[in-house]
Amino acid sequence: MLAVLSPGQGSQKPGFLTPWLDLPGAQARLRWWSVPAGVDLVHLGTKADADEIKDTARTQPLLVAAALLAAEHLPMHDVALTAGHSVGELAAAALAGVVPAESAITLAGVRGREMAAACALEPTGMAALLGGDAEEVLAALESHGLHPANRNGAGQIVAAGAQDGLAKLAAQPPARTRVITLQVAGAFHTPYMAPAETVLAEVAAGITPADPHRILLSNLDGAAVSHGREVIQRLVRQVTAPVRWDLCMRSLADLGVTGVIELPPAGTLAGLVKRELKGAGAPEIVTLNTPDDLPAARDLIARHGMPPGHEPTMQFRVAVSPAAGTFQPGDTLTEGDLVRTGQVIGHVATRQGPVEVTAHQGGSLTEWLADRDDPVAPGQPLARIGGHA
């Protein structure tokens, strides 16, 4: 199985889009996307300096546009899974078919502007903690009134909150940790971003999403999200919620992902995956930074993507697991029964409680693909549903 990943803020580099503009239609595409983005994407991706593209209001739509531009040159119909880190989730949602590219870029523009405005309300910031015991680190953050904004795996937790709390953390770091102050505008993915979440929710309410047609993992909990409206709700909620990239990588492992492509500006997520998913089952990784990397990316898709005629896991003909846990089919359902669109056909027992499994499309319950009490991973097919009801 092959996954395409979209990076988040902090991965940008001056001029990183310059080589892409040599491709036919690329500059025109960026000019068009600049309208909903509310910024000049061509300038930002080619001539802007590091300080200019560090601005949250500019960076977020730039990153989403860059990922989508590169993905247009890949055979995405053979890709089974997409995921993104922070604002990269908007690009991943577009690649999964939930929203058009223009809608994803519009949301990124609103998100970036409103998060920048929220950062200006009071002095906040972020710091990365490397190493140490995770529980001790989380306890230290709580004691200083800070939030775990990102849990990136591989011994990396990003703290966010008031500047005085960050200063106390740096002066008294948890045992065996190194604290690195991040050059960001404020405390992203914390309650400090509540004003931005409110505005983004108002804009997102006007979108009519589709259900994903490939597996789409959520930063909220690493789960595969199967309903378009829930995807939008999670994208909005993520402005103030922690990024659980560690759980997304666990889902990559649980699903048996063998190949990973990181879209430009690539490197950050590839590094996290490489450090977290080690050993014999480690996926093959391609970092797609320039058009020169396209042949390697296409080759990886050819070798790890879905074979001709095979359809993505998230097609409506199957119901899939929304989370990791053990499967419990509906007590009264048997193969051959008719089910309605949206009907609950079972649940997955997780540590946090039961999570419902619903049918995307009505029809006949043709076949159970998992038995009672089977361990299941996010996105794993649980039942095949044929025909219409």
> Can you read off the two tokens belonging to residue 238?
């993520």
Rounded Cα distance between 290 and 154, Å, is 27
**Does residue 16 contact residue 45 with C-beta atoms inside 8 Å?**
yes
Please choose, from the candidates 42, 38, 18, 39, the residue with its C-alpha nearest in 3D space to the C-alpha of residue 29: 42
- For the beta sheet containing 353-358, the strands, ordered from the edge strand earlier in sequence to the opposite edge, are 353-358, 344-350, 325-329, 375-376
347: Cα within 13 Å, side-chain hemisphere: 9
Catalytic residue among 189, 304, 347, 360: 189
Distance CA 251, CA 218 (A): 10
Q: State yes or no: is 321 an active-site residue.
A: no
Number of other CB atoms surrounding residue 367 within 10 Å: 13
| Among 58, 87, 94, 72, CA closest to 28 | 72
Dihedral pair phi/psi, residue 178, rounded to 5°: -120, 130
- Whole-angstrom CA distances from 37 to 41, 44, 107, 246, 282 are 8, 12, 8, 29, 37
CB 70 within 8 A of CB 20: yes
H helix intervals, 120-178:
134-143, 163-171
Radius of gyration in angstroms for the set of CA atoms belonging to the chain, rounded to a whole number = 21
Residue 73 a catalytic site member: no
Question: Which of the following is catalytic: 86, 103, 218, 251?
Answer: 86
C-alpha–C-alpha distance, residues 116 and 120, integer Å: 7
**Catalytic center residues:** 86, 189
